[in-house]
A and B are shown apart, each in its own frame.
Chain A
Amino acid sequence: MIRSEILKEIAPILRDKLVVCNIGLPSQELHLIDDQPSNFYMLGTMGLSSSIGLGLALSQPKTVISIDGDGSVLTNLGTLPTIANNVADNYILLIIDNGSYGSTGDQPTYAGLKTSLTRVAEACGCENVVECDASETASVLQQAIDSGKMTIIVSKCESGNIKVPVITMDPVVIRDRFMKAVQSS
C-alpha cells in the first residue's frame, strides 16, 4: 500500500476528528479524498505537523490526529521528546513511514535505512508507540482513539504517489474554517 491508499482507508475515521496534515502530497491527497473543515492543511513549514497537533491537543479537549511522514519527523526530531514529556491523551501522531521524501521525488530517508522511528519515539519516552503494516492502519488508529491514551503510530508503507492538484484554498480560509470546527460542539 502507498500513502494515498492509507488515507482513503482512514478517511471515514478522520472525518469527525481534528486533523493536522503534513505539507505537500499528504495534504493534497487528503484534500482530494475527503476535504473537511476539520482538516488543517499545511501549505508550508515542513516538519511542524506534530508540533501544531500537540499544541492544539493541549489547548482543547477534542481528539487531534497529526498526520506526519518519516521525512518530516526526521526534520523536526526534537518533537518526540516534547510529545513524550507533555502528555495529551486526546493526541495521536500518525507517522506514515514510506522510507522516502515522497513530495520531492521519493529520495530515501534514513527511516527507510537503519533508523527506526518507532524505537526513536520509545527512546524519547513516548509510552504508547505502535508500529504496524499499512494495511492495519485503520484498525490501529481506531484502537488508539478508543484507548483515550496519547499514541504514536508508525505505519510502514510503500513509497509512491498519485497525481493530485495543489491546494489553492487561501491559508486564512483554511485556518478560519478549521478554528470554527474546533469551536463547534
Chain B
Amino acid sequence: MSVNKKIVSDLVANQIGFVTTVPCKQLAGVIEEIDASDEIYHIPANKEDEGMGLCAGAFMGGKRPAIIMQNTAIGVTINTLVTLTQFYRMPLPMLISYRGELGEPVACQVEMAVHTKALLAQLNIPTYHFHREEDVEELDAILKHTFMCNKPVAILTDAAFWKGY
C-alpha cells in the first residue's frame, strides 16, 4: 500500500469523515487520495484558520475532522488553535508537511522550519515527527490519542518521509 493510501485508510478507519486541506507540494498525493475517497467529505480551505473553523463546526455536528496543511500554517493559525480548538477543547489531527528540513530546495522554507517545533511546544500541542516511511505505522495510534484527549495534535512529515517530492 502506498504511504498516501495508508494515511487515508487510517483516517477512514478512525471514522474521520471531514477533511479540510490547504495544499503543499509534499501533500499533493495524500490530498488526491482524500479527494477520491467516498468516505471523506473533502473541503479545501483558502486559509488554514478558516479550515480550523470548518473543522470545529464539523466536530460539533458529530463528524470527526482533520486538517492537512504546511508547517508555515502554524504561523497563520496560532490564535485559532488557542482561542477555538484548545479553549473549547476540541480534537484536531493536523497532518503537516514539515518543509525546510533536509533536502529542502527553497531557502525561505527553512525560516519557518526552525520555529515549527518551538511554536508547537510553546502551544503544548502533542507533536509527532515522521522521518522514515515506517513512522506512518504510528498514525493509527496518534489519531486514537487525538480523539481520546480532545486536543489538536501535530504530525510533522518531512521531505525524507515523503522521499523527496
Chain A residue, CB-CB nearest to B45:
A82
Chain A residue, CB-CB nearest to B82:
A44
Measured between alpha carbons, how far is A27 from B51 in the docked complex, in Å? Answer: 22
Could you say which of A20, A57, A171 has the most chain B C-beta atoms within 10 Å of its C-beta? A171
Chain B residue, CB-CB nearest to A178:
B60
Q: Which of A48-56, A129-137, A141-149 binds B?
A: A48-56
Which chain A residues lie closer than 8 Å to B3 at the CB level? Answer: none
Which chain A residues lie closer than 8 Å to B49 at the CB level? Answer: 45, 47-48, 76
- Also in contact, A175 and B57, with CB within 8 A (given A43-B83, A86-B43): no
Number of interface residues of A (CB under 8 A): 34
Chain B CB within 8 A of A179 CB: yes
Could you say which of B43, B53, B58 has the most chain A C-beta atoms within 10 Å of its C-beta? B53
Chain A residue, CB-CB nearest to B150:
A172
Contact B41 A52 (CB under 8 A): no
Which parts of B52-77 form the interface with A (CB within 8 Å)? Answer: 52-63, 65
Interface residues of B (CB under 8 A from A): 18, 41, 43-47, 49-63, 65, 79-80, 82-84, 87-90
Interface residues of A (CB under 8 A from B): 20, 40, 42-45, 47-60, 76, 78-79, 81-82, 86, 171-172, 174-175, 178-179, 182-183
